[in-house]
Amino acid sequence: MTGTVTTHVLDTSTGTPAVGIPVALERRSAGGHWEELGSCMTDAGGRTPSLLGSGQALTRGTYRLTLETRGYFGAVGVSCLYPEIVVVFEVEHTDEHFHLPVLLSPFAFSTYRGS
């Protein structure tokens, strides 16, 4: 099995999926800089497909998931405290699915490893 990385973003202030949020997945290189592996926008259900780009494989290391939330809240006329949400996580088992849901509101967010 090949490992994957996905997310599901829910807006807890409205109780609805957060649609149209740009999401990027990066991996920290041996030199310490971040290399983008894939990106997309959350769909009508607030979900993303696997964020690994074509031909990319999940390897052991440190990864970063970045969600650009400023535009999402700006589109509905709401100011927000966190213009982007950054989730840094470790991958040790490269054959696992890493589903990292994000619950957000204009002034808070939380994340966890889902299934």
The tens digit of pLDDT for each residue in 35-70 reads 999 999 999 999 999 899 888 889 999 999 999 999
Domain 4-111, CATH class in plain words: mainly beta
Is the Cβ–Cβ distance between 94 and 58 less than 8 Å? yes
Is the Cβ–Cβ distance between 25 and 38 less than 8 Å? yes
Is the Cβ–Cβ distance between 77 and 13 less than 8 Å? no
Q: What is the pTM of this model?
A: 0.93
Q: What is the pLDDT of residue 115?
A: 85
Is the Cβ–Cβ distance between 104 and 70 less than 8 Å? no
CA gap 25, 56 in Å, rounded: 11
CA gap 32, 39 in Å, rounded: 20
